[in-house]
């Protein structure tokens, strides 16, 4: 494990977060896995340990939309490893009700908590540990919906993801003088449990064209491996057969 980084992965129970945990453990990094549900985190931990026999994998569940929980986990990582090099913020949710005419207050709160508030509190908890060492990296998994506005994602999901893009850039604006950098990562369609939350499910043929969580994890691993003086401010990663573009071609635009 010599030379590996200490990395906190949120939303590590499924999807992109799980794939990141496996990929980063395989590369020799010590990973701490967070999320609200213990059982999926334990499944991810087992897969990460299978990926590399000497991997250091810790499960620290918690609801990161509660700032005290985020601070508790950050303190536990510091106590365990004496450092925190990187945060991969991969937690994210969506709801089936997408239109303003359908969204309830509960839907809005769920999206604020699950997409934006949890990542903001994680950043706030991690920054003091990184400032103390004058080094640190945040990889904020946003979405193409964090850069474009379309009906498919829904207004609240789109708003929260735009917030994540701003969150990443705000870190670079304020913390660059402390050796801390952030990357806003914008995946397009990815075959994760979030796709099951869509009002209309993709057909098998459509599903075959989208990204896999491992594709996004490979990009995350690349960003983790960049030298400290390099800041990749934003990365878009989409399927080659981009269904948004295909729809435009079909309309002749």
- Tens digits of residue pLDDT in 207-244: 888 999 999 999 999 999 999 999 999 999 999 988 77
For residue 1, tell me if it sits in a domain. no
Sign of CA dihedral 99, 195, 243, 212: positive
CA distance 194 to 72: 28
The single residue listed with the structure tokens 């499924």 is 14
Is 157 annotated in the active site?
Answer: yes
Provide the residue count of the chain. Answer: 253
> Structure pTM?
0.93
Report yes or no on 113 lying in a domain: yes
In a domain, 235, yes or no: yes
Q: Which of 136, 157, 161, 189 is catalytic?
A: 157
For 3-44, the pLDDT digits (tens) are 699 999 999 999 999 999 999 999 999 999 999 999 999 999
> Has residue 1 got a pLDDT over 70?
no
Alpha helices in the chain (DSSP H): 15-26, 38-51, 67-81, 105-111, 118-133, 155-175, 204-207, 213-224, 243-250
Residue 59 main-chain phi, psi, to 5 deg:
-105, 120
Q: Is residue 141 part of a domain?
A: yes
Residue 201 lies in a domain: yes
Q: Which residues make Cβ contacts (< 8 Å) with residue 45, sequence separation at least 6?
A: 21, 33, 57, 58, 59
| pLDDT digits 0-9 by tens, 126-181 | 999 999 999 999 999 999 999 999 888 899 999 999 999 999 999 999 999 999 99
Please give the tally of structural domains in the chain: 1
Q: Tell me, what's the pLDDT at 97?
A: 87
Whether 47 has a pLDDT exceeding 70, the answer reads yes
Give the structural domain span for 210: 6-250
Q: Give me the CATH number covering residue 242.
A: 3.40.50.720
Q: In this structure, is residue 161 part of a structural domain?
A: yes
């Amino acid at each position: 494990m010599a030379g590996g980084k200490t990395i906190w992965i949120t939303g590590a129970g499924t999807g992109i977060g799980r794939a990141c945990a496996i990929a980063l453990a395989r590369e020799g990094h010590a990973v701490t896995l967070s999320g609200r549900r213990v059982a999926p985190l334990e499944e991810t931990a087992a897969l990460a340990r299978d990926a590399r026999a000497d991997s250091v994998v810790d499960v620290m569940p918690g609801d990161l939309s509660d700032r005290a929980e985020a601070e508790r986990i950050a303190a536990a990582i510091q106590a365990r490893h004496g450092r925190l090099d990187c945060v991969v913020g991969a937690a994210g949710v969506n709801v089936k009700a997408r239109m303003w005419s359908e969204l309830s207050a509960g839907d809005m709160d769920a999206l604020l908590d699950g997409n934006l508030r949890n990542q903001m509190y994680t950043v706030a908890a991690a920054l003091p540990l990184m400032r103390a060492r004058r080094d640190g990296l945040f990889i904020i998994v946003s979405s193409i919906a964090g850069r474009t506005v379309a009906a498919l994602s829904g207004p609240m999901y789109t708003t929260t993801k735009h917030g994540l893009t701003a969150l990443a850039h705000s870190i670079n604006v304020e913390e660059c003088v402390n050796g801390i950098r952030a990357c806003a990562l914008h995946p397009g369609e990815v075959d994760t449990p979030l796709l099951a939350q869509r009002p209309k499910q993709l057909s098998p043929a459509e599903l075959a064209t989208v990204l896999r969580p491992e594709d996004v994890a490979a990009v995350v691993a690349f960003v983790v491996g960049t030298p400290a003086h390099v800041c990749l401010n934003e990365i878009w990663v989409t399927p080659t057969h981009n269904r948004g573009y295909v729809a435009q071609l079909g309309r002749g635009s």
